[in-house]
A = this chain, B = another copy of it.
């Protein structure tokens, strides 16, 4: 087993840089941390390059009884663990996981959520977690939506990336592909003139477009939708949080 005790070691430095999108894209890997995520990744047979753990964390990892590649294991010091961690309470276990983005995807079945330029990583992760809980098939992220492998997105989606398809795509192309397969596409708008959520019957296949936190679904994307959908605001709040609005819609159609 290899051992790394210095944050200046070139391999550790390279792994530390995976917190930045640029280096994730260059290397094709992203970093996950904590027992729950590492366990989910191993169970899902995700491809990975390294598992890094301090001696106590390694002991706990081995006690979980999961199979992993001993050649990829690196023993690290607590200092290295602190350097790699993006949280205050690190569990001292990390894994570099291969980014798995298909070149092309046919959206020809199922239930999908489309994210139109969402900016808040907590919202993106929470929406993916909700889509997973509701048994949706996947989430489609517009090119300007916050990066899926951002550590805050990772934390809030809690391993759901190993359960459903997460696909970065050009939204107009994805919408055309969904519509070609007769999957209805609904855009959520803060517009009392739109059709109310309660008037939509549950259905076997559906695609829901969620808009940016400040600007909503962009006009050109909304124009492509089969129907515009409104969650009624009955009180005096001006709007709902994007992840809450998405959750209400996702469960309505689950």
Contact = CB atoms under 8 A, between A and B. Distances in A.
Nearest to A133: B237
Interface string A234-254: 111111110111111001001
The number of chain A residues touching the other chain, given as a range, is 35 or more
Contacts of A233: 133
Nearest to A40: B236
Contacts of A243: 241, 243-244
B163 A234 contact: no
B126 A235 contact: no
**Copies held by the complex:** 2
Main secondary structure of the interface of A (DSSP, over half): loop
A132 interface: yes
A126 B234 contact: no
Nearest to A247: B244
A85 interface: no
A135 interface: yes
Contacts of A240: 129-130, 133, 247
B241 A156 contact: yes
A160 interface: yes
Contacts of A247: 240-241, 244-245, 247-248
Interface in A202-254: 231-241, 243-248, 251, 254
Interface of A: 122, 126, 129-136, 156, 158-160, 163-164, 231-241, 243-248, 251, 254
